[in-house]
A and B are shown apart, each in its own frame.
Chain A
Amino acid sequence: MGEKAIEKVSIIISKGSLEGVYPGLIMANGARMEGIQAMVFFTFFGLDALHKKKMNKLKVATVGNPAMGIPTIVGAIPGMSAFATMMMKKEMEKLDIPPVGEFLEMIHDAGGEIYGCKAAMDMFHYKREDLCDQVDGILTVGEFYEKSAGASIIFT
C-alpha cells in the first residue's frame, strides 16, 4: 500500500499472430476500464492488426509454439493454423472478446489512442488508407517516446 497507482500505459504490439495481438488489446481495453489512460503502438508484424484487409484474418501460430501441445510437424500440416484459430476465436467469443476490428473500435471509443509505427509502414509499403479509421497517427520512435511521457511502457 501507499504505492502510486498506474495512471497511463503505453503498449507496444510487435507480433502479427492472433495470440501476439490480443494480449495487448485486452490490456489496453482493461486499462481504460480502470480509468487508466492507454495508448497502443503497433510495430513490425503487429501493424497487420491495423490493416483493414488483414486485421480480421490473423492466425494462431501452430509451429514454434510449444504451449500448443502438438508436435511441430503436426502444427505444420496445412489447415492446422486455421483450425487452431477457429477454435481460439470460438473460445474468445464465449468470453465476449471481440474480433480485432471491433476491439480497436471499442478501445478507441473508450478514449484509448492507436498508433502505427513509421518504420514498419515503410518496410511493408503500407499506406495510411490501408489502415483502419481508428488510427490516430503514424509515429516515429522518437514521437512514440514523446507521447509515452509519464506512462508505463509494456512491450508485447
Chain B
Amino acid sequence: MATKELAGKSVEFDEEGYMVDFKQWDEEIAGELAREEGIEELTERHFQVIRYMRSEYEKNGIAPSIRKLTKGSGVPTKELYQLFPGGPAKKAARIGGMPKPKGCV
C-alpha cells in the first residue's frame, strides 16, 4: 500500500498501483493517472469507457470483461485498444479508480 499526491489530493494505491478507494476518484485524478499510463489527454471517448466501467463496477463489484466493455460502452474493440494502448481493460480500470480486473476474457 502506498499513498501518492495526485491533483492536490492524497490518494491511496495497492501494491499493483490501483486505487484502493473507488469513491475517492474524480476526473482530475483520472487525468494524472492517464499521464502515468502514457495517455496525454483523456477525451470524451475515454470517459465514455471509464464511466460505463465504473457504473458496472458499482453495480456488480467487478470490472467488466472486454466483451462486455465493447457491447456496453458502445466503443468498438478496435477503438478500445487505440484509446488505451497496451491493454484497455487493465488501463481503463486503473485510470478509472478501480482494482485490477480479475477475469481471463
A110 touches B104 (CB 8 A): no
Is B9 among interface residues, defined by CB-CB distance under 8 A? no
A29 to B66, CA, bound (A): 10
Indicate with 1 or 0, residue by residue over B61-105, a CB within 8 angstroms of chain A CB atoms. Answer: 000011110100000111001000111111000000000000111
Indicate with 1 or 0, residue by residue over A11-34, a CB within 8 angstroms of chain B CB atoms. Answer: 000000000000000100110111
Given contacts A30-B104, A109-B76, A109-B77, contact A96 B65 (CB under 8 A): yes
**Residue of A30, A33, A98 with highest tally of chain B CB at under 10 A:** A33
Which residues in A have their C-beta under 8 angstroms from that of B103?
A: 95-96
Indicate with 1 or 0, residue by residue over B43-57, a CB within 8 angstroms of chain A CB atoms. Answer: 000000000000000
Is A111 among interface residues, defined by CB-CB distance under 8 A? yes
Which residues in A have their C-beta under 8 angstroms from that of B76?
A: 109
A35 to B87, CA, bound (A): 5
B105 touches A110 (CB 8 A): no
A33 touches B90 (CB 8 A): yes
B81 touches A32 (CB 8 A): yes
Among candidates A26, A34, A96, A110, residue contacting B90 with C-beta atoms closer than 8 Å: A34
CB distance from B103 to the nearest CB of A (A): 7
Among candidates B65, B81, B87, residue contacting A34 with C-beta atoms closer than 8 Å: B87
Which residues in B have their C-beta under 8 angstroms from that of A58?
A: none
A26 touches B104 (CB 8 A): yes
B105 touches A96 (CB 8 A): yes
B105 touches A26 (CB 8 A): yes
B105 touches A97 (CB 8 A): yes
Query: Which of chain B's residues has its CB closest to A106's CB?
Result: B77
B85 touches A33 (CB 8 A): no
Apart from the given pairs A29-B105, A98-B67, 9 other A-B contacts in the complex at a CB distance below 8 Å: A33-B66, A34-B90, A35-B86, A96-B103, A96-B105, A106-B70, A109-B77, A109-B81, A110-B77
23 CB < 8 A contacts A-B:
A26-B104, A26-B105, A29-B66, A32-B87, A33-B66, A33-B87, A33-B89, A35-B85, A35-B86, A35-B87, A95-B103, A95-B104, A96-B68, A97-B105, A98-B67, A102-B67, A105-B77, A106-B66, A106-B67, A109-B77, A109-B78, A110-B78, A111-B81
